[in-house]
Amino acid sequence: MEVNPERQNIDQLFGSTTYYIDFYQRQYKWTKDPVEKLLEDIFYKFNDEYKKHESSDIDIEHLIDQYSWYYLNTFVTNKVSGKDYVVDGQQRLTTLTLILMKLRICAKEMNSQLLGWIDTKIAGMSGYKKNFWMNHECSILTMNAIYQKGIIDMPKEDNITSRNMVENYKIISTRLDKELPSDNLKRFDAFVFYFLRRLVLIRLDIVQTEVPMVFEVINDRGVKLKPYEILKGKLLGQIDKEELDALQLNELWDDTIGKINSLREDNIDQFFIYYLKAKFANTRAEGRKFDNDYHRAIMNIEELGLDHNAKKVKQFLMHDFIYYAELYYKVHKYRDYFNPSYRYVYYNGLTQMDTQFMLILSTCNVDDIDEDNKIKTVSEQVDRLFCLLQLQRSYDSNMFANKVYELSTKLRNCMYEDIKNIFDTCLLSILQSTHENSDLSEVWNYSLFRNVGIDLDKRFLRYILARIEQYIADNTNMEMKQNLYNLVINRGSTNGFHIEHILAENDENHERFNNDEELFRSERNRLGGLLLMKGADNQSSNNEPYSEKLKSYANTLYWNETLREDSYKSKLDFTKWIKNENLSFRAMPTFGKEEIEERQRLLFELIQRIWV
């Protein structure tokens, strides 16, 4: 690789060369802190030098050579087809241009003879048109407005670069008004000479084709590049710029990144991690290499062949990248916003089972004709696997994380008709291993479910009881009194939902268990002895005897109300349903060990219908 370093002051830097913003460079993202730091550096040195020479009678144009020079940093360019592209350093160069624009406004107001000189450092004429030396093609209107007017209220283009230009110019304007008062032309002219002649940068012109490597190594101080920004340089840097323009690959990349990042800041990094694990990791250990430095690891994947292979890069961008990014976006939207056709994607969001992203990406091929079926089936099976493991005391987070990779490997590019069988095999093997019973042949066993209850994760408990509530409502033509999100997620002290023990801590209930404290606690903690109650109702009935608690269950949730006699008199669709389905619902005027067992078995039956 050949690198040609050249020392330049700002007078030399701006005035004859138009700098195009390379696709490697992010948008102008500098905000208050790096801008103020740059201004502080500049004025700290200038104030020190100006104080030394303030009393001199030598003309500033000659005196300026006695001012010490100040090194601002390095910037990197790459000449392609006669155009100079900024590979690294545009944050600083753009900020320097904004400072020049403010100096131009000040020079006009002070009638400084340096106005024309400053003007030539901002833009040059091409026919009737001014062309800015820093050629932000996406923000020309905003740059022109600042150039003409100074401070403007709103950017002329709706993008990050334009918005930051407007805000940063205000910061620059405030600082320069303070440092360069309008009644001190001598100080102003001295600063202009200092700014243009004594501020120095080193320009590195990369004349061969190793720009992606340089881009990764040399980075602006201030805002560090994100992994996806570095990856952009590694990939697009291999493609000829004319071909990039013809295929609109830069636009494809930016539009896709912007779409996914609109879901959540820097969400594209999470997409790449899920995608790479789904397609190229067979074990958890293999998956870990994508967690931090995926932008490096992806270049070493033999199946993709992206390193020094422009043809493969183009294929990847126009096929795998665009397809799987769109698939990820779609699943993410279904997770965050309920869509009845993709309800299980949303359910997995409630239980924080983001494992579904990796497994859906694993299952789908590019342009998969069965994509919708695979999304629906995988998301349903993820919910089923997670719930049935939890409800049979068989879930271990570490074990589950390992099993996900086994599942992913088996699901990779499979037929959607095979998905359920793959999950069933996995579920059964986990149950057999956890309980050391190779004779287990069913994925749902009452012996494993019998004692589950309060020891489960509270969010998961709320989810199970909420799904029971929904199942009752769906089958009895009744509207849900609360949506699933409120039942599972909302935990406010007044309106949030909490787990309630049907059997409170009081003497009456202890006597029902012959004052056997251990038996009392183990039984009351079973799922059949628990309900979901709104915060205020939960607190008000905390230590009441069961007969009083029974009253408080009126007009709460359907599952709670099934303990009351009036539920079987007033809800005809409900009674018809339980008769047709032969479900053992009944009112329970008293509540003890036998009733808890009865409710536990009823829940076993309902869960079997929902998940098995």
pLDDT single digits (tens) 230-244: 899 889 888 887 888
The verdict on residue 590 lying in a domain is yes
- Cα(521)–Cα(34) distance, rounded to whole angstroms? 60
Mean pLDDT of 203-218: 62
487: closest CA among 459, 456, 528, 455?
Answer: 459
The verdict on residue 189 lying in a domain is yes
Q: ∠ CA 77-79-84 to the nearest 5 degrees?
A: 65
Residue 461 reports pLDDT greater than 70: yes
pLDDT interval class at 220 (50, 70, 90): very low
- Cα(548)–Cα(489) distance, rounded to whole angstroms? 28
> Both 180 and 261 in a single domain?
no
Q: Per residue in 399-442, pLDDT tens?
A: 999 999 999 999 998 999 999 999 999 999 999 999 999 999 99
The verdict on residue 572 lying in a domain is yes
And the tokens for 522? Answer: 């183990």
> Both 532 and 427 in a single domain?
no
> Both 386 and 462 in a single domain?
no
- Residue 120: how many CB atoms within 10 A of its CB? 15
Of 217, 245, 272, which one is at a domain's C-terminal end? 217
Return mean pLDDT, the chain: 91
pLDDT interval class at 219 (50, 70, 90): very low
φ, ψ dihedrals at 71, nearest 5°: -85, 120
- Cα(594)–Cα(528) distance, rounded to whole angstroms? 11
The verdict on residue 222 lying in a domain is no
Work out the percent of the chain whose per-residue pLDDT is above 90: 76
Could you give the dihedral angle defined by the CA atoms of residues 106, 111, 117 and 121, in that order, rounded to the nearest 10 degrees? Answer: 20
> Both 212 and 273 in a single domain?
no
Of 195, 217, 239, which one is at a domain's C-terminal end? 217
What residues contact residue 501 under an 8 Å CB cut-off, 6+ apart?
A: 454, 524, 525, 529, 530
> Both 424 and 560 in a single domain?
no
Residue 593 reports pLDDT greater than 50: yes
The verdict on residue 207 lying in a domain is yes
> Both 486 and 372 in a single domain?
no
Q: Which domain holds residue 268?
A: 227-440
Give the pLDDT of residue 221: 42
Using DSSP, state whether 202 is helix, strand or coil: strand
Mean pLDDT of 334-346: 97
Q: Per residue in 42-56, pLDDT tens?
A: 999 999 999 999 888
φ, ψ dihedrals at 502, nearest 5°: -65, -40
And the tokens for 375? Answer: 């999304």
> Both 436 and 469 in a single domain?
no
The residue whose two tokens read 């608690």 is: 549
> Both 307 and 415 in a single domain?
yes
215: closest CA among 24, 401, 473, 417?
Answer: 24
The residue whose two tokens read 């002070």 is: 110
Could you give the dihedral angle defined by the CA atoms of residues 551, 557, 561 and 567, in that order, rounded to the nearest 10 degrees? Answer: 120
The verdict on residue 585 lying in a domain is yes
Mean pLDDT of 507-526: 93
Residue 538 reports pLDDT greater than 60: no
> Both 203 and 234 in a single domain?
no
- Count of residues for the chain? 612
Residue 210 reports pLDDT greater than 70: no
The verdict on residue 450 lying in a domain is no
> Both 411 and 532 in a single domain?
no
The verdict on residue 254 lying in a domain is yes
Can you say whether the dihedral through the CA atoms of 47, 51, 55, 58 is positive or negative? negative
pLDDT interval class at 123 (50, 70, 90): very high
Give the pLDDT of residue 495: 79
Give the pLDDT of residue 336: 96
And the tokens for 508? Answer: 């009456």
Residue 199 reports pLDDT greater than 70: yes
Of 185, 217, 249, which one is at a domain's C-terminal end? 217
The half-sphere exposure of 558 on its side-chain side, counting CA atoms within 13 A, is: 26
Give the pLDDT of residue 257: 92
Residue 459 reports pLDDT greater than 80: yes
And the tokens for 239? Answer: 């493609």
- Cα(527)–Cα(511) distance, rounded to whole angstroms? 21
> Both 47 and 157 in a single domain?
yes
> Both 388 and 495 in a single domain?
no
Q: Per residue in 80-105, pLDDT tens?
A: 778 888 888 899 999 999 999 999 99
User: Does the model's pTM come out above 0.95?
Assistant: no
How many domains are contained in the chain? Answer: 3
435: closest CA among 399, 393, 406, 398?
Answer: 393
